[in-house]
A and B are shown apart, each in its own frame.
Chain A
Amino acid sequence: MARILVIDDESLARFTLRAILEAAGHEVVEATNGNEGIALQKADPFDLAVTDVIMPEKAGVETAIDLKRDYPDLKIIAISGGGRTRNLDFLRLAKQFGADETLAKPFSADELMALVNRLIGAAERSER
């Protein structure tokens, strides 16, 4: 079981992510914006963070930069609305600047869990 931080300004997105991740047995904590997410990570570090790219006040890429700089062992998945080319551009930028993996909406539960399992599994192997 991993502790996973979900950062998204949309409550429905957070609800969906929580449902998928908790069904897989993980502990989920929500943050509504990047600053809140960073504060939560600082208070009690997580194993993985899932962050939306487009959020007010602090974009997901900025959040990923700050999290990765201060917590290099934290795994980060960046998500964004798919469809528009420019959304994909920012997912690429998220990966360039700190995200370990990216996922374009809409995505299936299986797609998300495949990334989570791969990242959490890799983290556990590196700890041994």
Chain B
Amino acid sequence: MDRPGEDGALAGLLDAALAETRGGGGEPWPQSPALARLSGYVAARGGALRLIDFSPLKASRPDFWPAANTEIHEFIAAVAARDLRHGDRFVRLDDATYLLVMAQASEMGIHHVATKVAEGVTRELVGRHVLLDFASVHSMSGDAEGESLFRLVSQEEETLDEFLLRVRTLTRINREWRFPREARIDDEDAPDTDIEFIFRPLLALRDRTMSTFLFMPLRPMGDGYISGYAVLDDPGDPSETCRLDVMTLRHAIGAIDDIMEKGARTLIGLQVHALTLGHSGTRNAYRKALASLTSDQISRIVFELAGVPDDVETAELEAVAAALRPTAGLVNVQARLGTGNFQSFRAAGFRAVGIDVYSSGAAEAEVMQGIDDFIEGARRHQLKTYILGVRSVSLYTAAVTAGFDYMSGHALSEAFSAPTEVVAYRLDQPFTHYSTRSKN
């Protein structure tokens, strides 16, 4: 794990970096000229470099650190054995700091591995997904004078998940205007140019197929992405939610036309925000965009109403739902775990009610405690159920056994750049992947 043999220059630079950072008389790593030279060398060859710092964990758990130190080293050795290729290196700079050099990796590729290490260590040792309090991942560049410039890579709670999305192939949708001029909403001339879209499959558990693809907006943030309405600067502004909803609808049309042309039986899932439909101006703008679709195109869309407040009155809910009809076909509603609105949802004519555990940020144990009641409440009112954002095998297990009708999340499947034909799904797929990954 520690000593490269094939590349003499890399070996020499690593030796220098080790000497400096281990108290060999040089600068500590944030200012290490040796590390800067190493970074420049790696970058020039097309690779990338990351520094993983566990000193927050060491500082917060001094009683735990001596034993954790060994565990961390063994964990990283296992990751290195599994994920590193010829020419890649993991080097221990000091007892809390590791250097990862990936000779041929892209920035995304190396950050994926580094974040996996950091988050994996914190999860294994302290039982937390979030690495923010216990480790940090730094990228590094050297300037012309050889001084190192360490930049803390942006770390959000969903860093690992966003990077998993990022390493998938994303298709840039054609952003050219496709609708008649009169269907435009205000400020259409300034579209969001950095919003991208992915398709995430939705598993229907009864027949074990993925026949609906959720069409989701993403926006780059730091070295990752944020998704859904979080891409907006102000998710509480109806004009912003409307612009995003209309933009999403328009960009989905191309995919809908493709699946129709191929004869695929697939459906596309689209979100529309309650704020968009709850205000007359934005509601009219969305309905105009919707009216420009053909009935065949509409028949391929499953709408999901998002952003419904907990204290919504039944009459308000019915009005918002009615705004989508008669144009829209299938409409689901996203709620919160612990909601008591099942009767209202049923009265408003929704087909299914669901939760997004990724966006909610709730701890897994809390989710698992709440989903039985959620499903029971929905079933009592003849509503189907779905769960989105399932990002762990443990939550996948709990959600399947709890009885959800539909589910989605990266624990089940990667994101797609385009929808496919209906895909069969086996319940053991996440475990097969886990087993294969654990073995290597």
Nearest to B439 among chain A residues (CB) is: A69
Q: A91-121: which residues lie under 8 A (CB-CB) from chain B?
A: 93, 96-97
- Given the interface pairs A57-B394, A65-B431, the reply to whether A87 lies near B365 with Cβ below 8 Å is no
Q: Does B423 contact A (CB under 8 A)?
A: no
CA–CA, A55 and B435, complex, Å: 18
Scan B390-406; emit 1 where CB is below 8 A from any A CB, else 0. 00111111101101000
Are B368 and A56 in contact (CB-based, < 8 A)?
yes
Are A65 and B368 in contact (CB-based, < 8 A)?
no
Are B439 and A61 in contact (CB-based, < 8 A)?
no
Q: B57-91: which residues lie under 8 A (CB-CB) from chain A?
A: none
Q: A1-51: which residues lie under 8 A (CB-CB) from chain B?
A: 9, 33-35
Q: B403-440: which residues lie under 8 A (CB-CB) from chain A?
A: 403, 427-428, 431, 434-435, 438-439
The size bracket of the interface on B is 20 to 34
Q: Which listed residue, A54, A62, A84, touches B431 by the CB 8 Å rule?
A: A62
B396 — which chain A residues lie within 8 A by C-beta?
59
Are B397 and A53 in contact (CB-based, < 8 A)?
yes
Are A86 and B403 in contact (CB-based, < 8 A)?
yes
A55 — which chain B residues lie within 8 A by C-beta?
394
Shortest beta-carbon distance from A43 to chain B in Å: 10
- Given the interface pairs A35-B124, A65-B431, the reply to whether A57 lies near B401 with Cβ below 8 Å is no
Shortest beta-carbon distance from A53 to chain B in Å: 7
Q: Which residue among A57, A90, A97 has the maximum number of chain B CB atoms within 10 Å of its CB?
A: A57
Shortest beta-carbon distance from A37 to chain B in Å: 12
Are B427 and A97 in contact (CB-based, < 8 A)?
no
B395 — which chain A residues lie within 8 A by C-beta?
56
Shortest beta-carbon distance from A57 to chain B in Å: 6
Shortest beta-carbon distance from A90 to chain B in Å: 6
Are B439 and A62 in contact (CB-based, < 8 A)?
no
CA–CA, A83 and B124, complex, Å: 32
Q: B354-371: which residues lie under 8 A (CB-CB) from chain A?
A: 363-365, 367-368
Nearest to B435 among chain A residues (CB) is: A65
- Given the interface pairs A35-B124, A59-B393, A96-B428, the reply to whether A54 lies near B438 with Cβ below 8 Å is no
Q: Is the interface of B mostly helix, strand, loop or mixed?
A: helix
A34 — which chain B residues lie within 8 A by C-beta?
394
Are B431 and A57 in contact (CB-based, < 8 A)?
no
Are A90 and B397 in contact (CB-based, < 8 A)?
yes
Shortest beta-carbon distance from A44 to chain B in Å: 14
B397 — which chain A residues lie within 8 A by C-beta?
53-54, 59-61, 90
Shortest beta-carbon distance from A28 to chain B in Å: 22
- Given the interface pairs A62-B434, A65-B434, A80-B401, the reply to whether A89 lies near B393 with Cβ below 8 Å is no
Are A97 and B398 in contact (CB-based, < 8 A)?
no
CA–CA, A78 and B401, complex, Å: 15
- Given the interface pairs A9-B365, A84-B403, the reply to whether A33 lies near B431 with Cβ below 8 Å is no
Shortest beta-carbon distance from B117 to chain A in Å: 16
CA–CA, A20 and B392, complex, Å: 32
A90 — which chain B residues lie within 8 A by C-beta?
397, 400-401, 427
Are A33 and B434 in contact (CB-based, < 8 A)?
no
CA–CA, A121 and B398, complex, Å: 33
A89 — which chain B residues lie within 8 A by C-beta?
400-401, 427
Are B364 and A57 in contact (CB-based, < 8 A)?
yes
Are B434 and A86 in contact (CB-based, < 8 A)?
no
Nearest to A66 among chain B residues (CB) is: B438
Q: Does B8 contact A (CB under 8 A)?
A: no
B368 — which chain A residues lie within 8 A by C-beta?
54, 56
Are A33 and B403 in contact (CB-based, < 8 A)?
no
Are A93 and B431 in contact (CB-based, < 8 A)?
yes
- Given the interface pairs A90-B400, A96-B428, the reply to whether A65 lies near B438 with Cβ below 8 Å is yes
Are A59 and B435 in contact (CB-based, < 8 A)?
no
A97 — which chain B residues lie within 8 A by C-beta?
428, 431, 435
A87 — which chain B residues lie within 8 A by C-beta?
401
Q: B26-42: which residues lie under 8 A (CB-CB) from chain A?
A: none
Shortest beta-carbon distance from B244 to chain A in Å: 33
Are A56 and B393 in contact (CB-based, < 8 A)?
no
Nearest to B404 among chain A residues (CB) is: A86
Shortest beta-carbon distance from A92 to chain B in Å: 9
CA–CA, A97 and B368, complex, Å: 23
Q: Does B326 contact A (CB under 8 A)?
A: no
Are A61 and B431 in contact (CB-based, < 8 A)?
yes
Shortest beta-carbon distance from B126 to chain A in Å: 9
A61 — which chain B residues lie within 8 A by C-beta?
393, 397, 431
Nearest to A55 among chain B residues (CB) is: B394
Nearest to B392 among chain A residues (CB) is: A57
Q: Does B127 contact A (CB under 8 A)?
A: yes
Give 25 A-B contacts (CB < 8 Å), ordered by A residue: A34-B394, A35-B123, A54-B398, A54-B401, A56-B363, A56-B364, A56-B365, A56-B367, A56-B368, A56-B395, A56-B398, A57-B364, A57-B392, A60-B397, A65-B431, A65-B435, A80-B401, A81-B401, A86-B205, A86-B401, A89-B427, A90-B401, A90-B427, A93-B427, A97-B435
Q: Which 6 A-B pairs have the closest CB atoms?
A: A59-B394, A56-B364, A56-B365, A59-B397, A86-B401, A87-B401
Given contacts A86-B401, A90-B427, 9 further A-B contacts (CB under 8 A): A35-B123, A35-B127, A54-B394, A56-B368, A57-B123, A65-B438, A86-B403, A89-B427, A90-B400
